[in-house]
Structures are given as structure tokens and as C-alpha cells.
């Protein structure tokens, strides 16, 4: 029989277990909620991977994520943002402010702020889950969006829509780069087992142009030849900043390919919709189109033989889920070339493969193309060194060695211009004249996102950082923010706030995203100074 003291202790323990825990209790709702959404590419950077059900089981992948304390709307799968994400860390440090983010894609994100071409796109439009098409951010009726995320910078048409629908109450748009990340080539091929797929730039051009339609045509995976299997090409169906950045790479790299094993392709043009990213006279390949980066990765995971594109953080997070079949490729500048021999007659000459680097006949070291026998009497045997290119991982090689961020220079009051006959979309040569404060639209020329190739010990030209990248932006209204003005300023500053970044685990190191060191146009010394000047009320 238990003593009275034992019974008392049991009752006390039971009472403690029955009482609401301070750690388990629902967080206090924030006084201010900032409603936003848009680009799916930076989702893991902004809100973490909880929307996939990595830590807490979800019935389906959630488009909507909210920081701790915000009540989830009924009928919509909603994830709580990871406290180690950018917005999650922001909410921890600013516990009276909450952030709401719906992954709609860049096009819908911008349209919510501008009203779209018909002025009918609202923040209160349905966010939904992955598997349905979003119409807005899922905000309460009558609530306006505080901000949007986009990987495609503002264009003339965006400003036209804004001026028609929103300028009377919000004056002008404010745009600032927030972070940069890697676009991974995601794939699912049961034949590869644990073999890691390596793709050259030429492979990528061939896959997305439709010139390569079978896995057996991919010959650059070291020590492995893929068995014949049709490629199921999975692309974005929606207006996508990820697609815009992918086609930024394709339209620049593919026409100029000239190294051994390369096949040039001149048909790509920059566009936010994949099926319309081809110049006149070129035909788009057969594709399996899905909404959002999450939709692309889910489809690749579901269909053996698939190849697609998405932010690497999404691919890495899903690869950890039980039963996952999706992974991502490394990327090389070109195909490796084995060493070869030249036998040159007296005073004769020969050629090493384009891209060869090493010791020349005269003992100097550098790029080697034409080799000339300096002797007029003797035969020369010369060995062209092997060419070996870096195999770059989208998570591990986004940042250059010894750096903690990516340095970029923005231009003030510039918009995306028209697409030229070469498929490239440059910034509009005419400056955008804002209705309010000057310099509030900051944009980085997409051409500046490519690392310049340089000689290495093993190749005449190569790159040392991952080449497929996307720059993402935050966009907001300059006026009409009312009581949310101070909170909005704080949120927009988070990508550059050292205290927030110190608590953020989803940006930096091997996350697939990197912080920016940004030089601004228009005379602004810091992002914080720009935001304080441009977000007025």
C-alpha cells in the first residue's frame, strides 16, 4: 500500500502533466501581421522546410506558412515557419510582429501588389495547398498585402498595372534584392542507384531544349553510362521567377558553347513561362508542367526518369523524407578530356583540345592550343594534359571559398526591358521615373549573376562557383501602409540585419542560399537607409 507521501507525489506529478506547459502553450498572437507571398524559390530561406512536413506531418505540402502565434485559416494546410528561417528568426526577435507567406510564384506575387492587368488580383485570393492553383495570399477579406517576393524584377508592365490600379493609394513600389540561391537540376532515376549525376552546361542546354530526350544521351557522368530511359522533363507551369533565372542562364550559356563535347543551342530567350522561352523558329520540347518549385520537385520524385529544376533547398529537404527518390546533380563547365599525344614533324605543328591548360613546349604554363615543334631536324612528341573541370554542388559551391556572402551592384530606377533577337533581356535603357522618392526600385542586371570563367591548374577556363543561380527580391508599397509602416520597415531590413542573420540557419554556408553584400544605386549607403527613405507611411 502506498504511503500518503507517495500518493501526494503521484498527484503532484499528475497535476503538473495535466497543466498547460509554458513550452507547449500556444504562442501569444503578434499585434501586427504582415501579409505577403510570391516567389517559391526563396521559400526555404524565408520560412524553412516545415511546409513539407519534415518536422511535423502534414496532409499535403503547404503553400502557406506563418510565424509562431498567427492563427491558421480554416480549410487550408498551414505550416509554422521554422524559427531558424529568416522570417522565423525575425519573429523571435520582434515578438509583436508576425509574417505570413504564401508560395504563389513570382508572377502572382507581383500581381497581388499591382492588381494585375485587370486590377482584380487581391491578397485575399485563395492561397490553397500544393496541388491547387493559388489566386492570392489567402489573407483575410479586405486586408491588403504588405509585401511580395519575386525572382523576376519589376518590368514596365508591372509598373503600368500598379499605376492603373494602386498608385492613387500607394504612390510607388519599392524593390530591393534580398538573397541569392542555387537552382538545382533535380532528378529521379532508379537505375543510377547511389551514383551522383554530373551534368555539363551542354547537357543542361540539351535537356531543356529537347535535343536530349533519353538518359543514355547523357555521357558525362564520371565512370557511369546511363541506361536507355526516356526523360520526363518537368518544368514550372506558372509565371515563375525561377524559370526567369533558369532562362537567364540558358540564353547566355547555350549559344556560345564551343568546348569539346559541347553542342551549342541558340533558341532560348529569357522568360518567366518555360513553354514561351524559345525564340521564333525554335520549338519548345514536350514537358510535364507543374505549379511552384514544390510542385516540380514532387512530380520529379513521383515519376522515375524525371529531370526538373527548383531551389536546391527544396530538393535537399525532400531527399530526407522517408521514401524520397529525388536528388540533384552537380554541374560542370564542360566535359572532362583525357590526355592525348601529338607527334610533330620538324617545324610542324598540331593542336591540343580547346580548353587544355598546362606546360607548353617553351616550359611556360598557360592555355595550350596550337603546339609548334621548335626543331627543324627532330620529331617532337608532346602530351596534351588532361582537362578536368570542377564538379560544382549547388548547396556547397554557391559561395566562393573564403567568403560569407555574394557581392552585387544594383542600379536605381531601372526596369526589365524587352527581349532582344539574341534571347537576352537587358535592363530598359530609359530610366524609370518614380512618382515619389527616387531610387526606390533597385535591380541587379541579370547578366551580372554569372561568374566570369578563369584559368585553373586543370583547365584553360572554368568557374569555381555554382553557375545556375537566382536572385530574389522583396517588393512593397511606399505609402498606404498605415499602422504597419514601422513593422514593414523592420521586415524588409531583415536580409541585411546582423542580429537576424546570426539566428538564421537557412541562409549561408551550405544551405543553398547566401546573404548579399549590396552596393546600391541612387546614392543610398545601406539597404536600411533606402528602406527608411522609401517606405514612408
Whether residue 207 has pLDDT greater than 60: yes
- Looking at every residue in the chain, the average pLDDT score rounds to 92
- SS3 call for 380: strand
pLDDT single digits (tens) 357-401? 999 999 999 999 999 999 999 999 999 999 999 999 999 999 999
Alpha carbons 97 and 71: distance in angstroms, whole number? 13
Reduced DSSP (H G I as helix, E B as strand, rest coil) percent helix, strand, coil of the chain, to 5? 25, 25, 50
DSSP string for 253-306: HGGG--STT------B---SSGGG-B-TT-PPPP-EEESHHHHHHHHHHHSTTE
Q: Provide the grid cell at 480.
A: 498606404
What domains appear along the chain, each with residue ranges and CATH number? Answer: 183-332 (3.40.190.10), 340-384 (no CATH)
Q: Averaged over 194-211, what is the pLDDT?
A: 95
Q: How many CB atoms lie within 10 A of CB 224?
A: 16
pLDDT for the residue 54: 63
For residue 241, pLDDT over 70 is answered with yes
Give the residue-averaged pLDDT of 341-345: 97
112 and 136 Cβ atoms separated by less than 8 Å: yes
Backbone dihedral region of 275: left (phi > 0), alpha (psi from -120 to 50 degrees) or beta? Answer: alpha
Contact 137, 70 (CB under 8 A): no
Distances (CA, A) of 67 to 30, 34, 44: 9, 10, 13
Percent of the chain past pLDDT 90, that is, above it, reads 83
Q: Give the angle subtended at the CA of 514 by the CAs of 207 and 234, to the nearest 5°.
A: 25
Q: For residue 430, count CB atoms less than 10 angstroms from its CB and return exposed for 0-12, middle for 13-18, buried for 19 or more.
A: exposed
Give the pLDDT mean for 294-300.
92
Q: Which range has the worst mean pLDDT, 1-15, 46-60, 100-114, 274-288? A: 1-15
220 confidence band (pLDDT: 50, 70, 90): confident
311-340: average pLDDT: 90
Task: Read off φ and ψ for residue 208, nearest 5 degrees.
Answer: -80, -15
What pLDDT is stored for residue 58 in this prediction?
59
DSSP state of 331: E
- Give the H or E element holding residue 147: strand 147-150
- Give the whole-angstrom CA distance, residue 476 versus residue 142: 18
> Cell digits for 443?
535591380
The answer to whether residue 201 scores a pLDDT higher than 90 is yes
pLDDT in tens, 469-486: 999 999 999 999 999 999
What's the CA gap between 79 and 48, in Å, rounded? Answer: 10
Amino acid at each position: 500500500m502506498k504511503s500518503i507521501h507517495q500518493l501526494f507525489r503521484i498527484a503532484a506529478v499528475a497535476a503538473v502533466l495535466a497543466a498547460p506547459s509554458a513550452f507547449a502553450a500556444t504562442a501569444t498572437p503578434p499585434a501586427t501581421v504582415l501579409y505577403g507571398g510570391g516567389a517559391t524559390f526563396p521559400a526555404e530561406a524565408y520560412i524553412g522546410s516545415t511546409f513539407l512536413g519534415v518536422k511535423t506531418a502534414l496532409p499535403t505540402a503547404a503553400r502557406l506558412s506563418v510565424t509562431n502565434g498567427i492563427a491558421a485559416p480554416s480549410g487550408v494546410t498551414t505550416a509554422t515557419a521554422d524559427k531558424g528561417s529568416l522570417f522565423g528568426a525575425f519573429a523571435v526577435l520582434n515578438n509583436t510582429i508576425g509574417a505570413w507567406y504564401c508560395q504563389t510564384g513570382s508572377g502572382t506575387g507581383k500581381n497581388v501588389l499591382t492588381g494585375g492587368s485587370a486590377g482584380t488580383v487581391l491578397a485575399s485570393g485563395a492561397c490553397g495547398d500544393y496541388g491547387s492553383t493559388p489566386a492570392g495570399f489567402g489573407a483575410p477579406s479586405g486586408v491588403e498585402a504588405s509585401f511580395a517576393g519575386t525572382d523576376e524584377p519589376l518590368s514596365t508592365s508591372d509598373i503600368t498595372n500598379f499605376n492603373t490600379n494602386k498608385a492613387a493609394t500607394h504612390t510607388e513600389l519599392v524593390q530591393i534584392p534580398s538573397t541569392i540561391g542555387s537552382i538545382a537540376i533535380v532528378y529521379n532515376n532508379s537505375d543510377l542507384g547511389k551514383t551522383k549525376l554530373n551534368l555539363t552546361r551542354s547537357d543542361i542546354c540539351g535537356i531543356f531544349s529537347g535535343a536530349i530526350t533519353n538518359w543514355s544521351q547523357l555521357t558525362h557522368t564520371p565512370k557511369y553510362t546511363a541506361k536507355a530511359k526516356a526523360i520526363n522533363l518537368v518544368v514550372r507551369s506558372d509565371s515563375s521567377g525561377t524559370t526567369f533565372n533558369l532562362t537567364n542562364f540558358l540564353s547566355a550559356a547555350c549559344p556560345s558553347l564551343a568546348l569539346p563535347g559541347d553542342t551549342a543551342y541558340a533558341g532560348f530567350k529569357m522568360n518567366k513561362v518555360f513553354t514561351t522561352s524559345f525564340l521564333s523558329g525554335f520549338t519548345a520540347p514536350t514537358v510535364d508542367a507543374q505549379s511552384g518549385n514544390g510542385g516540380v520537385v514532387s512530380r520529379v520524385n513521383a515519376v522515375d526518369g524525371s529531370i526538373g529544376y527548383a531551389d536546391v533547398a527544396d530538393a535537399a529537404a525532400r531527399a530526407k523524407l522517408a521514401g524520397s527518390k529525388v536528388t540533384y546533380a552537380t554541374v560542370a563547365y564542360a566535359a572532362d578530356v583525357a590526355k592525348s599525344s601529338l607527334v610533330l614533324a620538324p617545324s610542324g605543328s598540331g593542336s591540343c583540345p580547346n580548353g587544355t591548360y598546362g606546360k607548353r613546349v617553351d616550359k611556360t604554363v598557360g592555355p595550350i592550343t596550337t603546339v609548334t615543334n621548335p626543331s627543324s631536324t627532330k620529331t617532337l612528341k608532346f602530351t596534351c594534359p588532361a582537362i578536368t573541370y570542377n564538379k560544382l554542388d549547388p548547396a556547397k559551391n554557391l559561395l566562393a571559398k573564403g567568403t560569407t556572402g555574394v557581392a552585387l551592384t544594383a542600379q536605381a530606377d531601372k526596369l526589365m526591358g524587352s527581349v532582344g533577337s539574341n534571347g537576352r533581356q537587358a535592363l530598359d535603357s530609359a530610366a524609370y521615373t518614380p512618382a515619389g522618392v527616387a531610387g526606390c526600385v533597385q535591380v541587379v542586371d541579370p547578366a551580372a549573376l554569372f561568374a566570369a570563367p578563369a584559368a585553373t591548374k586543370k583547365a584553360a577556363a572554368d568557374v569555381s562557383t555554382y553557375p545556375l543561380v537566382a536572385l530574389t527580391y522583396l517588393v512593397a508599397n511606399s505609402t498606404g501602409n498605415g499602422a504597419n509602416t514601422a513593422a514593414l520597415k523592420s521586415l524588409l531590413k531583415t536580409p541585411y540585419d546582423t542580429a537576424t542573420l546570426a539566428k538564421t540557419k537557412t541562409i549561408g554556408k551550405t544551405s543553398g542560399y547566401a546573404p548579399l553584400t549590396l552596393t546600391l544605386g541612387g546614392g543610398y549607403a545601406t539597404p536600411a537607409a533606402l528602406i527608411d527613405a522609401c517606405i514612408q507611411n
